[in-house]
Structure formats: C-alpha cells, structure tokens
Structure 1
Amino acid sequence: MIKEGIIGASGYAGCEVLRLLLMHPAVEVTGVGARSFLGKKVSDLYPSFYNVTDLTYTTDEEVIAGADVVFAGLPAGISEKYAKACVESGKKFIDLGADFRLEKEEDYIKWYGKAYEDKPLHEKQVYGLPEVHREEIKKASIIGNPGCYPTTVNLGLYPLLKHHLNAGTKVIIDSASGTTGAGKKLTEDTHFTKTNESYHPYKAGNHRHTPEMEQELSHMADEKIQVTFVPHLLPVNRGIVSTIYIPVKENLTLEEIHHIYTDTYKDEQFVRVLPLGMNADLKFVTYTNYCNISLHMDARDHTLIIASTIDNMVKGTAGQAIQNMNLMFGLKENTGLNFVGPSF
C-alpha cells in the first residue's frame, strides 16, 4: 500500500483529497495535517467522515515522516519548504496550490507578489495535466497540480492548438465556477446572501490563472497565445463551465474539427467529447473526474465555441492530483477514480 499524507487537510481541497483517497484500493492515508486543528478528529470538522475514519490532525512534519507521497492544499507561497523536505527524503510531492505551476519566476512575482525562495527546486517541477504531460509526470518528484479554470481551458483547446487549427492567437474565455473554487475562507463575495440567486464576474482581466493558461496554451500551439479571461461566480457548490471563443481556419468544418477532437482524446477516459448538438453541462460531471467538452461554430465569422466543464473539486483539484499520483507510482491511471456522475 502507498502511504499518503495530506497537508492543509482542513481546507476544501485537502478534505476532497482525503474523501477520494479513503476509497482508493491501493493507498493508506497515514497522516493529515492542519495547524489550526491539532488533535481534533477530521470528523469533528467534517461530519461526513464520522465512523468512516478516526484520523486526527497532526503536525505537518509528522505527516511527511509517515508518507510516501504528500498532497499539499496550501495558500500560495507556503509549499516550497514542504516540497524540499519531501524531495530530500525521497518522497513525492503534489502541490494543489500555485507554487509549482508557473515556469517563469517573473510570472509568479507579477501575479502572486512572491519570489521563489528555492529556485533549483523549481527545476524539478512538472505541470500535472496527465492528458498532455503523462510521460513527464511518471518520472516526476514534484507535481504542480493545474488550477481548476486552466484545466477546463487547456483540455478544451489542446486538440485545436496541437493541430494548429486556430486562425489567430487571441482566445476569449468566459468561465463560471461554484463557490468552493474560492476556498473555505469566507469573503464578501462568498456570503450566502451575496451568492444566492446571483451571478457575476470577478477579477475580470486580472485573474491569477491567466499566466498559467497562456503558458500551457503557448506550448501546445508552438506560438504565443494571448488570453482574455473573465471568471464568474455561480451560486452552486461545485462545477466549472468554461466557454471558449477562438477563430479557426476557414477551410475547416465543425464536423472535421469534431473528428480531430474525438481522435485526439479517443484513449483518454476522463475527457469526453460530446456528440455534435449536445451541450456540456456541469450537472453531469459533478463528483466525477470527467471533463465534458462540446463544440459549436459561429459560421458568420468562423469562430469555434468550445464548452468545457468539470467538477472543480475533482478533475479540477483532488481527482486530478490522484490521477497524477497513480501515474507517479505506476498504477493504472483510473485507479480509485471511476465515479459516474448524477443522472438528474
């Protein structure tokens, strides 16, 4: 059994990793860390774990000592020291936060207001999108788990950019996320009275996930891709729907593009390209590790419209992290992740 530890296990991301790992047939969760809740049972904070696990929150150092792989659900700027401790002791480290996603330190400084404290450590990082970086992930010691918004966007655009079907380098993206995407800490925007029966944009044009998208999309296209990204807050707990607009070459039909998408993802269990005429709907991916993609065309100016939807806490966070862990330890990639979503 692979021994698993979770740091930051009192937050939504860490809690979701725990929920999924407890159902994983090849692992044992040996420690969960949360500085604010030392000595308390996980079930004291999350009653769904009552009579499921007796795990109690311990120190981060104890979590690392007892694990083969450590998941970290921490705010930006905190994960480096834990990653270093894991690497030095021969353990794997999967960061659910932003500290190991960006290749350029100047991007991290600009968007997160922090510099790298251990620059050589970042040479070991691998961006953890399995459908694109599978072989690198298998050999990695540090994984930067993708952001939830970038997961929808990167998977939505990968076949198009990989095959150079775009007619421009500008992408416009509207995304809408459930409130768990904002984390557990309460803000003015996440009060019930603000979110209930509401829908609104936030951080329009200056969201921190923008450089992550541009980095990965530019690699896919072999040219610089510029993103205009506007996220919105949905009054639901889970789910992301990203609607992506990009001009495509005029000689391409929607049917031809759809064929390229289905062919690109034909061996990918967790990416489902829907038949033409269907619309991606977040209801049918909640509590699963699936990304559903639907394709549409505005024929007037030959703009491809891509709808890409995931559960932000599973494929957008914990499920993808476990998918990465499976690859790192030579397990079947779908181990512990074969969940079917709700039908209604």
Structure 2
Amino acid sequence: DLASAPPLPRLSASSAAILLSAPREVSGTASDTVGTSGASLLTASVSQSSATQGSFNVITAVLRANAHLYPSTEVTLSGLLGAQTASTAALPLESVTAGAFEGAAAWNQTHGTLTVRTLRLIAAGEEVSFSFEVTNPPASQPPAYVEARVTSFGPRQNGLLQPGEAALSTAWTPLAVGAGSVGIGILGGEQPPEFARREIGESTLVDSAVNTLTVTLAANVPLQERGNITLSSIVSETPSGIIPLYDLHATFFRGGSGAWSREDGTLKLSLDRTVHPSDPPLVFSFRLQNPKCLAPPCAAPSVSVELQGGVKAPSIGVPPSPMSGSVLGGGASLSWSATRGPR
C-alpha cells in the first residue's frame, strides 16, 4: 500500500527517470497528468541575435510541455556546437519567464549542451522561455541541429520525492528556428565581421592648415571595452604624440585621446566602453595638419580602419578596411573670401 509506505529516499540527478518516448507534436491538448505515455513538447523553438563570426550571440529557447514540470525539472538543449564560450556550471540566464528557472545554467562547450532547472511549478500547457549568451564561432560552419529534452522526477516535499507520482522524460525534440532569429540557422556564423559604416571627412583642403577630421563607425560586432581601433595610411605634418579627440563620442576612448605616429601614418585608439551593433554609430573627431601639396593636383590618401580584440572576447576583430572619403590631400591656397558688408 503506497499510502502507508514510508517516504522514498531522495533520488539524485543520475537516478533513472521513466523515458516516455513520443514524436514531436505541433498541436494537442495539455494533460494534467505527470508521467503519461504522451508526454512531449508541444512548442519547441530557438532563435539567435547574431550570425556574425566571433560576435556575442543571445540564444533564446521557447518551450511548452503537455505535462506539469515540477521544481528542479531539468531542461537540456543539445547540439550547440562551435560556440567559443568556455564550459561553466553557472552561465547566466537572461529574459527568463518570471520565476520559472534558476538564474544560471550548466554549459558544456565540448558537448554543446546547456542544462537549466525549474524553480517553480510550470503548469501543463504553459509556454516558458529563457535566453543565454555565448560567443559565435570564429568562422562559418554548418548551422547547429538543436534539440531539447525535459526530465522530471515528479513533485517533492521537504526535498523528498512524493510516492505515487511518476517521473517523466520527453524524447529529444528538434527545435525549429523561431521568428525573428538572425541568420540562416543557429551558430552558423555566416556573416564576417565588418564595419557597416566607415566614413571620414575633413574641414579644409588648405595646404599646411590644421584640419579637423571626423570619423563615423558602425560595426556588426561589438566594439568592446579595451578594444583597439587603428586608422592607418594617414599623411600629416603633425609631429608624433598623443592628440585629443573631440565630438560626440570622444569620451568613449581612453583618456579622450589617441596615439598619433607621423612615421607610421597611424592613429591608435583604445575604447573605454563597449559599443553594441544596436547602438548609434560612433562619431569622433581629431585634428592634424595638412601636408603641403608641391605639385597639384595632389591625391588624398585612402585611410583604412581596423578593430582588434576587447576585454570580453579578444578574438573579435575586423581586418583593415578602406574608409569612405579621402582626406589630408591639401592642394588649396589660403585666400580671402569676398564678403558683402552692411549698406
């Protein structure tokens, strides 16, 4: 008689649950019974925020089961291979359905698995979601084949399983790519990192004049704190040294300045904060002296920009890319402009 039997000892996560294999369902009625032979995921989808190689990627899973999921139920995603994020027992979860899951998950980089645990009862038919961030692979690869499985040992009281309540474990269920997901699949990394906007302009063409150069940058990867941005192929009469930055985002760089090398023709900048692809473009200015054009017409050099590393993902980078706009060519002479005085 189960009613008169003493409480069962607490089972560990390695204890065998009853495997209730069932094909993936796309519709059906949620059951109030735990451990029924039809236990399955009614909804199973996954989406991502970035398809860019080496970029941060927020992956979101949406699930709905046809059975109650009691506290300490494990939800495991598999097939997440290629991510650069190191294994950890406490990968933070984001955008979690209110109170449904613990605040961190167990992530295994080698096997490409993520395991989360429920904190409260998730009723049969209730749709829940959770998100987590990993770093995309450094090069393109076939999209991941992501599956999910739910394993529950039934309700507990004072940490002990309750007699008469069946356990459940759904079959591995393929996750469809959800609406709004970026890219072809999950963790494919099909987009190379690049500056979507890389523009430079100048304030004057006058020979030997001080020229204000304005740069506008927007990338499809985060411009990370402690990341380095280098402008190269610059020709100027300004001696080497630290030069101040101006304009909208000058304070985004360490010391509000950059290291200028006349000999190398480079301006090196170190970021003091992270600028995400969703943020407004980065805009800053600096001043250099124009060269003297000895044999007009003088061609302005084509300046290049590159990105290297950062505090969170050192592998993120954008190779040298030519900027839109040519500057520091000079070629104009200083002259008075005719003005119309008062009558």
Give 1 or 2 for the bigger CA radius of gyration.
2
TM over 0.5: no
Which structure has more strand as a fraction of its residues?
Answer: 2
- The structure with the greater share of residues assigned to helix is 1
